[in-house]
Every structure is written in C-alpha cells, then in structure tokens.
RNA sequence: GGGUGAUUAGCUCAGUUGGCUAGAGCAUCUCGUUUACACCGAGAGGGUCGGGGGUUCGAGUCCCUCAUCACCCACCA
C-alpha cells in the first residue's frame, strides 16, 4: 500500500483507535517485564466538555503509559468521570432556570434522578473526546464517581472514621452560600478585595461611666454581639475588663473581656465579638464560654432573635438601616474607607456568610500528622519537588473538614437521627429510605450529601476495587498520580491522607503536577471571558498527534503557560515530516517492509546514524522515566528531522543502505509512538501490510554497540560540508565549484558523498593549486575560488579570526590559572587542553587565509 | 501579612547534582525546485540570561538583596 503525499490525520485516527480497542491493546499485560505501571486518570466532570487543559493531562499520562507498555510493563491507565456534585448541580439549576423552574420545585430525590438523567445524556461527549486525544486507557475499567464500588467505599470509610471517633457532628461555623443554600469547605471560598467602610461605633458602658468605641466592617452583625474584647495589656482599656456594655439597638448587656488575639493597633483596639458569624469570634467565644446568637439565617436574612424592626431584613439592607439608626442615636463615631477581602461563592459570587450549622466534620489532625511524616520521609516523589514543601505547610495548618453539603447531587450521608432524640445518631447504609426503624425507634435520614472530595479522596484504591479485587492487589500503589496544581490541596492531600488511613500504604509513588494551559495572551481561560480553546476543532485541523506534541513541547512541570498555536503547527509539520520520511523509505525498501534487528552498517554515515539512534532510544527512555516530557520530545524531534532526515537520508541518496534505512525508520517509529501515536501506528500498519503486529504493543527498541570511531568520520564530513555551504552562501556562488586537494585519502574515499551533500561540481586530487582553503577539517583542501570572489569572504574570515583569538586567549588564561588546574576535574582540564590545541590550529589556518587574501588587495 | 513560581533572542519558551563559544520553534533576511516532504531544503543575523551584591578556579544555574508579574494560602474585626 502506498502512502499519499501529505499526511491527513482525519483519514486515519478513528480507524487506528478502533484497531487498538479491538485488539485489546489497552488492557494491562506483562510483556517481558515483571513491573507494573499504573495510573488512574483524574476524573473530569462527566457533564462538561473537555477543555484543552485536559489534553495536556491526557498527553502527559498517555506518553508515560505508552512508553511503559512498550517497555513490557503491565500498564494500566484507568479512565473515569466525576459527578462533580455542586458543580453539576449548579449547571443543572441554570438549565432548570431556562424552563422557568428551580430546585425548590422538587425534593432532593427527584432532583437527584433528574440530574442523573441529565448527566447520562452528556456523558458520551467525554468518551469521544478522550478517544480523539488518543488516550490508551482501558475502557473496560471505566469508573464513575457514583458507581456502586465508590459509594460503598465512601460508606466504609465514613463508618471506620465514625467508629474510631474521627467523625463528629457539631455546630460549627460553616461558609454558607445563601443563594445556593449550601455550605462549603474553607478551600472552596473565593476571596476578593473590596472597597468598604470601617465603622467606628460607640458602645456605652452599662454603669454610665463612659463608652468604648469599636471598629467593624459588618455593623449588621452587632445585633449578635455577645462581648467586646480588648488586649489584656492595653492600658487604655484594661481597667474596663469585667464591666459590661449596654449593646445599642438591643436591650442586652454584654461583658468586656480580655484576649490576646486582639490587635491593639487595629481600629480602636476594641473589637465586638459575634461568635455566630465570625470564625475568630467563634474561637474566642469557645475560650470564654460566651453565648452564640445567630442573627443571619440561611437565606441571608436577619433572624427572629433580633429586635423587631430588623427582623427578616436582608443583611445588606439591614446594614444601611442600622448605620442610619446609629447615626440618629449619635453612636456613630466615624466612617473610614477601608479595603479588605471578602469571601464569595466561587460559582455565583454571593457573599459567603459564616453561619452556625450542625454538620459532619472529620478530625484532620491524626490524618495530617501521618501524611506529613510520610512526605518528610520522601515516600512520595514530587515533580516539581517544591510542591512537596507546599503540601507539608498546608497540612500543618489544616483545620477540621466539613463534609456535609446541602445539595441533592451527591452521595447521601449514611446517618440517621432519632426523631425523638436529636443527639442520637446512628450509621446505616439504607440511604434509599427516608426513615428507618431500629430497636423500635424511628430514625430519619440526614438529608445532606458528602462533599465530592470525600469520596474522590479514595479514588486511587476505590477505583481499583479495594480491598479484594485483583486490580487492587496488582496495581496499588499507583506508579504515578498526574494532576493539576489547583487540586494539590483539596485532592492530592486528601488522597494521601485517606490512602494511608485506609490501606496503610501511600496511594501513589510519584506525583506529577502540571501547570495550567493559559489562553494565548497568558490570561486564565474561562467560559465567561470566552477565551477557552476547544480541543476538538484543533484536532480536526492539525491532528491529534499535533495537538498532543504541541501542548507538551517546551512545558515544564508546575509552570503555567499559554496555549501556543505555533507549537501545534510545528508539531503538525513534524508529523508530516515523519510521514514523508516513511514515504521515501517505502519507495526504496518496497512494500515488504521488515526491519532487520541487526543491520550491517557499511558507510560512516551508517555508523553515525546508528550511534545517534542508540543515544535516542536510551535518552528518551531515561527522560520519560524522569517525567521530563518536553526534553524527550525535543530529542525525538531533532533526531528525526536534523539527523535522520537532513543528514542520513541525504547521505543515503549517494550511498544507499536499505537495511539501515528500514531499521532507522523502525526505531524512530517506536520511539516517536508515545508522543504521536496515530501517525506512527498508521505508518506501521501501512508498511506492515497484512501483518497483525501493532506498534502500540511492540517492544521499546534497543540499539546495540556501535563503532564510534567510524561514526566520528561522518562528523568530519558534516563539518566539511557545512563549511563549503557556508562559503557558497556567503560569496553567492552556486555552480561549477570544485574542491581540490593534494592526495588526501579521506577526501578520495568520501568524495562522492561530499560532492553530493555540498552540491559542488567535483572533488579532484591535484598537484598544486590556488584558492580558498577550508579550515574546519584537518585536510589540506581548497575551493577553486578566484581572488576577486574570495575577497567578498574576507569580512567573514576576519570576524571568525577575531572570535578564534578570543577563544584561544580565554582558554590560555584558564589553563594558566593554578587554582583551576588544581581544583577542576582532570577530564575537564584535559578537555580544555585539547580544545586549546584545536583552537590554535584553526586560528592559524584562518590567519593564513586572511593574510593571503588581504595582502593581495 | 505569609508562601511558591516566573523574569534568558522580536514572540513563546527549554536549559537535571555549577564546567565546551547559552539552545529550540516561530518570526526576519539571503539563496534554492536536488531520488520523500514548500506542512520543504541550504545558509545568515539576533541575547550585558530582570538590577545590584556575594560564594567559587569557574555562576543562566548556588546564597543575599531589590524590582516587576502571576498564582496559592491566611483573613486584623
């Protein structure tokens, strides 16, 4: 079968992927190695289209997986999708809104079913996109985060924590979005800087002896104040401790307390304490045993615990009215402009209200402690390494984790409450029931669901079927967890903690954190800005391989970088180059392409290319094992293009060796396959004709020992040819150029090749002659350029001569430095000596040429 | 307030424990249709490696410091 002139990815990609799938090439299988290599892919939101960032995820994971598969390791790349609880529910709510409905029109069970159907409708996109990107993942092991095994695992984990008292139910401050009606973990709150006011309010002492001025950004919460705090060493106030304040606008009396937390320098040095609506105040209330009064409810309105005129007001509205009322009472001391950070719901932008709610919490201390110890002991290797330190710092300051969410789309919490005794909670997995009877008592199900991260923290072992499934026994701990920096804290940290807690082992041996794919101008991609790049049109235009390589090229771990279309184009050109190399070789070797394992090198070019290919196979493998993808790709790119195509194939046109051509292509196809799976497999299938061999499962190549001395001969030919090309280009000579020499064996031997590569008329042995001598090789030879033409080369000669002199000087100073000869490694000094010799020789040749031509001006 | 990363050619970026005259792609300029490829070939120009100190025989690379940008964490009301 003949390869057409241009590689058109669209014509082949689908068929090639189908071929891999049909051949079960993605199933893990030991092929000559005893090692396994396993990754579970970070599950993207099942409901959304994959954005270009996920192409990077796929590319990185798939390159590593394909490499290890070819190494013979049993390789598992497990695909999955995430129900993405709150994310998906808010998408669905927007969808509902279009039909004029809202979540309040349905109960939670109804909503759950509706969202399930909604997600099922959209899920196909995800599968197809992953295929289009060439992910060699095992679809038979596809896992959804609401699969039975994942839910059961969440329940077992919850139960174990419950039994071991790591789970507790408590009334704590939670970050509450009054629009979505749910609480969030600390990490989900988005802080934004806002212009606001700092109000100074006079709080009169009960005994009438004066007043204390407090400063606040949230005057509406004063109705819930239960104390005023000052610093114990503050001379202005310390005599007031123990006295009480008559809280304005209310009839309540509240104490003045002393606490080290208070910053004397901020505001007035006196701070109102509202335990039910501020985390720091909450902590202080616990220390001083203060009452907590909720004055804002879950809808963001003032509660019935505030004086009549303020009840049911919107918090924002209440603020204005209260400030006005204080003004009227002449209790407002002053207003200052003030800029501070305010927490917002990351989805709708509503200001987050800290509210007192009963929720389930996980005591993170013991889990974090174990994780820190494991990280410190380097049981998990991080790429880049700095992420480890960041993670340890995060774990050190970790607070308890609120795992309750008041939404429908998620895993119901398997806890039931005695309807007659609110403190009596039991664990039970019958979550499909609203209420159950146990020991004659009626228990009602907690209507909340788990935070998505609670179940996904078990992903590495739950998706492998912990504890009994063979996959778990075979592939755990995972070889690599590849993921983005934004989920280092919410996900990676928790996978490590829960992995250690449940399985007693680290969940993965290495972590690779990729940077974000930013928009081309470096800004963050977001739907609202409209600068999101959709991978599918890019794949259609340039091919899947081009996108994969283009997005990996020049990218290092943990660093954000813009999407660069030029790199994709370049990669497309690379795929086409490979295609045409294959066409050329197909033409020479014929259709029955079968590369010999040990081809016989004949020419110095043969030895040279084998040497290059040996370096390629060894080094690319080493790079991938160190997860240095960009450098690996770079080496593949330049070996194919510069070495194999531009030098070896060109040389082969005058000294063909079909065995080596076929062998070289074979090696290059294998080594390129992890990066460009489609084009390499397409070529492989076309050239192998009827054969049933697949490149994807072919072994990674190994080139045996090469005679490097012979390889070096070709380096000399390259140097000679390059110099001739340079001179030709500079003096604008094209035709009829001859190279003369006085009986150099080397030039006689390689004359035909040099003639061909340098595009000159002839190479001749002569007795004597006159012309421009070449300086880059240790042979006496010259181009038959006349005096006048050679003159135009004088400038070049001069600048090269100057450079050469500088180099000689630099090397001489270095060697004259006794500290250098004393301290530097011997090989390096030896190298410097050789270098100096060569530099001197080249210098004198340049000098001679320069003298001869300048003298005759 | 704390932390991390970035700052290298016109643009986008590589550059592993310090060691050949600092690299790539794109862009620019000059040639070129030669047994595959114009999504091509040959050649060229272009960099005080953000500033300033220091350690070292030797620093783009290590240390200190400053500046600018980005992100993350914290949240003193």
Residue A249 per-residue DSSP state: T
**Are A40 and A475 contacting, i.e. CB atoms less than 8 angstroms apart?**
no
**Are A253 and A266 contacting, i.e. CB atoms less than 8 angstroms apart?**
no
The Cα–Cα gap between A505 and A133 comes to 32
Query: What pLDDT shows up at residue A591?
Result: 66
The answer to whether the bond into A467 is cis (omega within 30° of 0) is yes
**Are A681 and A694 contacting, i.e. CB atoms less than 8 angstroms apart?**
yes
- Is A133's pLDDT higher than 60? yes
pLDDT band at A197 (very low <50, low <70, confident <90, very high): confident
- Is A792's pLDDT higher than 80? no
Across the beta sheet with A332-345, the strand order is A211-216, A189-204, A332-345
Query: What pLDDT shows up at residue A253?
Result: 94
Domain A547-706 classified CATH 3.90.1200.10? no
In chain A, CATH 3.90.740.10 covers 190-344
- Is A529's pLDDT higher than 80? no
CA proximity to A274, closest of A287, A257, A262, A291: A291
Protein residue nearest nucleotide B42, by CA to C1': A725
Query: What pLDDT shows up at residue A857?
Result: 45
- Is A690's pLDDT higher than 80? no
Those nucleotides of strand B lying less than 7 Å from any protein Cβ are 3-6, 12-15, 19-21, 23-26, 30-32, 34-44, 56-58, 70-77
Least confident among A99-103, A210-214, A668-672:
A99-103
Q: How far is the CA of A368 from the C1' of B2 (A)?
A: 21
* Average pLDDT over every residue of A271-286: 91
Above pLDDT 70, what percent of chain A? Answer: 98
* Average pLDDT over every residue of A207-221: 91
The Cα–Cα gap between A445 and A428 comes to 9
Higher pLDDT: A300 or A1? It is: A300
Nearest nt by C1' to A342 Cα: B75
- Is A570's pLDDT higher than 90? yes
The Cα–Cα gap between A738 and A785 comes to 8
pLDDT band at A5 (very low <50, low <70, confident <90, very high): confident
User: Per-residue pLDDT tens for A462-483?
Assistant: 999 999 999 999 999 999 999 9
Protein residue nearest nucleotide B21, by CA to C1': A807
In chain A, CATH 1.10.730.10 covers 547-706
- Is A848's pLDDT higher than 60? yes
Give the number of other CB atoms < 10 A from CB of residue A152: 12
> What mean pLDDT, rounded, does chain A reach?
90
Q: Torsions phi, psi of A518, nearest 5? A: -90, 175
**Are A513 and A387 contacting, i.e. CB atoms less than 8 angstroms apart?**
yes
Nearest nt by C1' to A759 Cα: B34
Query: What pLDDT shows up at residue A313?
Result: 92
Sign, Cα dihedral of A156, A159, A163, A165: positive
* Average pLDDT over every residue of A262-289: 89
Query: What pLDDT shows up at residue A486?
Result: 84
Three-state secondary structure call for residue A676: coil
Q: Output the CA–CA distances (angstroms, integers) from residue A241 to A201, A211, A228, A255, A274, in the order listed.
A: 19, 13, 9, 8, 18
Three-state secondary structure call for residue A345: strand
CA proximity to A754, closest of A795, A713, A790: A713
CA proximity to A807, closest of A775, A838, A767, A785: A838
The answer to whether the bond into A384 is cis (omega within 30° of 0) is yes
Q: Number of C-alpha atoms within 13 angstroms, CB side, residue A726?
A: 14
Q: Output the CA–CA distances (angstroms, integers) from residue A481 to A57, A206, A527, A695, A801, in the order listed.
A: 11, 62, 27, 26, 54
Q: How far is the CA of A386 from the C1' of B4 (A)?
A: 8
The Cα–Cα gap between A297 and A700 comes to 64
The CATH classification of domain A190-344, taken from the options 3.90.740.10, 3.40.50.920, 3.20.20.70, 3.30.70.60: 3.90.740.10
Protein residue nearest nucleotide B35, by CA to C1': A653
User: Per-residue pLDDT tens for A648-661?
Assistant: 999 999 999 999 99
- Is A689's pLDDT higher than 80? no
pLDDT band at A420 (very low <50, low <70, confident <90, very high): very high
pLDDT band at A592 (very low <50, low <70, confident <90, very high): low
The answer to whether the bond into A477 is cis (omega within 30° of 0) is yes
Q: How far is the CA of A515 from the C1' of B14 (A)?
A: 15
Most confident range (mean pLDDT) of A544-548, A764-768, A826-830 is: A544-548
* Average pLDDT over every residue of A117-139: 90
- Is A123's pLDDT higher than 80? no
User: Per-residue pLDDT tens for A8-46?
Assistant: 999 999 999 999 999 999 999 999 999 999 999 999 888
Q: Which residues, other chains included, contact A327 with Cβ-Cβ below 8 Å and sequence gap of 6+?
A: none
Protein residue nearest nucleotide B24, by CA to C1': A634
- Is A856's pLDDT higher than 80? no
Which is it for strands A74-78 and A36-40: parallel, antiparallel or unpaired?
A: parallel
Query: What pLDDT shows up at residue A849?
Result: 84
Task: Spell out the SS3 assignment of A156-204.
Answer: HHHHHHHHCCCEEEEEEEEEEECCCCEEECHHHEEEEEEEEEEEEEEEE
Q: Which residues does residue A271 pair with via DSSP β-bridges, in sequence order?
A: A229
The Cα–Cα gap between A54 and A734 comes to 51
Q: Number of C-alpha atoms within 13 angstroms, CB side, residue A796?
A: 14
Higher pLDDT: A490 or A682? It is: A682
Query: What pLDDT shows up at residue A91?
Result: 84
Task: Spell out the SS3 assignment of A615-647.
Answer: HHHHHHHHHHHCCCHHHHHHHHHHHHHHHHHHH
* Average pLDDT over every residue of A63-83: 96
Least confident among A80-89, A285-294, A709-718:
A80-89
Query: What pLDDT shows up at residue A9?
Result: 96
Query: What pLDDT shows up at residue A776?
Result: 84
The Cα–Cα gap between A728 and A785 comes to 10
Q: How far is the CA of A639 from the C1' of B7 (A)?
A: 31
ipTM of the complex: 0.95
Percent helix, strand and coil across chain A, each to the nearest 5: 45, 20, 35
Q: How far is the CA of A561 from the C1' of B7 (A)?
A: 14
């Amino acid at each position: 079968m003949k390869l057409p002139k241009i590689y058109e990815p669209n014509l082949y990609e689908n068929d090639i992927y189908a071929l891999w799938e049909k051949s079960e090439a993605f199933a893990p299988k030991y092929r000559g190695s005893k090692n396994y290599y396993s990754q579970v892919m970070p599950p993207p939101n099942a409901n959304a289209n994959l954005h270009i960032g996920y192409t990077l995820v796929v590319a990185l994971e798939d390159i590593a997986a394909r490499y290890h598969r070819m190494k013979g390791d049993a390789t598992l790349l497990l695909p999955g999708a995430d129900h993405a609880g709150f994310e998906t529910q808010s998408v669905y709510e927007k969808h509902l809104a279009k039909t004029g409905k809202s979540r309040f029109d349905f109960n939670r069970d109804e909503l759950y079913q509706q969202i399930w159907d909604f997600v099922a409708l959209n899920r196909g996109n995800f599968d197809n996109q992953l295929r289009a990107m060439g992910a060699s993942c095992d679809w038979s092991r596809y896992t959804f985060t609401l699969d039975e095994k994942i839910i059961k695992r969440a329940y077992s984990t919850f139960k174990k924590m419950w039994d071991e008292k790591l789970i507790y139910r408590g009334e704590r401050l939670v970050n509450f979005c009054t629009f979505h009606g749910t609480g969030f973990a600390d990490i989900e709150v988005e802080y934004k800087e806002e212009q606001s006011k700092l109000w100074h309010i006079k709080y009169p002492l009960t005994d009438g002896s004066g007043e204390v001025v407090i400063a606040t950004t949230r005057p509406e919460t004063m109705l819930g104040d239960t104390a005023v705090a000052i610093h114990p060493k503050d001379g202005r106030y310390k005599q007031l401790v123990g006295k009480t304040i008559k809280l304005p606008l209310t009839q309540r009396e509240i104490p003045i307390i002393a606490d080290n937390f208070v910053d004397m320098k901020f505001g007035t040095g006196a701070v109102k304490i509202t335990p039910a609506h501020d985390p720091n105040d909450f902590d202080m209330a616990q220390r001083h045993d203060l009452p907590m009064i909720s004055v804002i409810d879950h809808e963001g309105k003032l509660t019935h615990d505030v004086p009549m005129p303020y009840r049911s007001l919107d918090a924002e509205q209440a603020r204005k009215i209260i400030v006005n009322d204080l003004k009227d009472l002449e209790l407002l001391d002053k207003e200052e402009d003030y800029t501070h950070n305010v927490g917002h719901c990351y989805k709708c932008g509503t200001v987050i209200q800290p509210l007192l709610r009963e929720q389930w919490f996980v005591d993170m201390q013991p889990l974090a402690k174990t994780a820190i110890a494991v990280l410190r002991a380097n049981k998990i290797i991080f790429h880049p390494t700095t992420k480890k330190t960041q993670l340890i710092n995060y774990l050190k300051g970790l607070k308890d984790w609120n795992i309750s969410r008041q939404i429908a789309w998620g895993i119901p919490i398997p806890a039931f409450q005695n309807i007659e005794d609110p403190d009596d909670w039991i664990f039970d997995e019958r979550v499909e029931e609203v209420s159950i009877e146990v020991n004659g008592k009626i228990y009602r199900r907690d209507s909340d669901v788990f935070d998505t991260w609670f179940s996904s923290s078990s992903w590495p072992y739950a998706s492998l079927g912990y504890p009994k499934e063979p996959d778990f026994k075979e592939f755990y701990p995972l070889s690599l967890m590849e993921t983005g920096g934004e989920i280092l804290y919410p996900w990676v940290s928790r996978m490590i903690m829960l992995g250690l807690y449940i399985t007693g082992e680290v969940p993965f041996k290495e972590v690779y954190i990729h940077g974000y794919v930013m928009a081309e101008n470096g800004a963050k991609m977001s739907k609202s800005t409209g600068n999101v790049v959709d991978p599918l049109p890019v794949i259609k235009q340039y091919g899947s391989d081009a996108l994969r390589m283009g997005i990996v090229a020049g990218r290092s771990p943990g660093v954000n970088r813009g999407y660069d279309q030029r790199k994709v184009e370049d990669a497309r050109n690379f795929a086409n180059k490979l295609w045409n190399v294959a066409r050329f070789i197909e033409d020479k070797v014929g259709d029955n392409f079968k590369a010999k394992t040990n081809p016989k090198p004949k020419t110095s070019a043969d030895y040279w290319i084998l040497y290059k290919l040996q370096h390629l196979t060894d080094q690319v493998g080493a790079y991938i094992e160190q997860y240095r993808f960009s450098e690996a790709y770079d080496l593949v790119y330049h070996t194919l293009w510069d070495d194999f195509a531009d030098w070896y194939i060109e040389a082969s046109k005058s000294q063909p060796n079909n065995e080596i051509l076929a062998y070289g292509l074979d090696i290059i196809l294998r080594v390129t396959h992890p990066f460009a799976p489609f084009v390499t497999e397409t070529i492989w299938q076309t050239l192998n004709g009827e054969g049933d061999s697949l490149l994807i499962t072919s072994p990674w190549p190994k080139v045996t020992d090469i005679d490097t001395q012979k390889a070096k001969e070709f380096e000399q030919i390259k140097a000679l040819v390059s110099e001739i090309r340079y001179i030709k280009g500079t003096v604008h000579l094209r035709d009829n150029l001859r190279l003369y020499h006085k009986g150099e064996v080397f030039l006689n031997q390689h004359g035909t090749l040099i003639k061909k590569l340098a595009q000159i008329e002839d190479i001749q042995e002569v007795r004597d002659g006159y012309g421009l001598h070449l300086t880059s090789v240790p042979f006496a030879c010259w181009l038959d350029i006349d005096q006048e033409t050679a003159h135009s080369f004088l400038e070049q000669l001069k600048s090269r001569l100057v450079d050469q002199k500088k180099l000689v000087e630099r090397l001489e100073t270095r060697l004259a430095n006794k500290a250098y000869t004393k301290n530097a490694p011997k090989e390096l000094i030896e190298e410097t000596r050789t270098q100096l010799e060569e530099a001197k020789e080249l210098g004198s040749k340049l000098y001679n040429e320069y003298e001869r031509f300048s003298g005759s001006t």
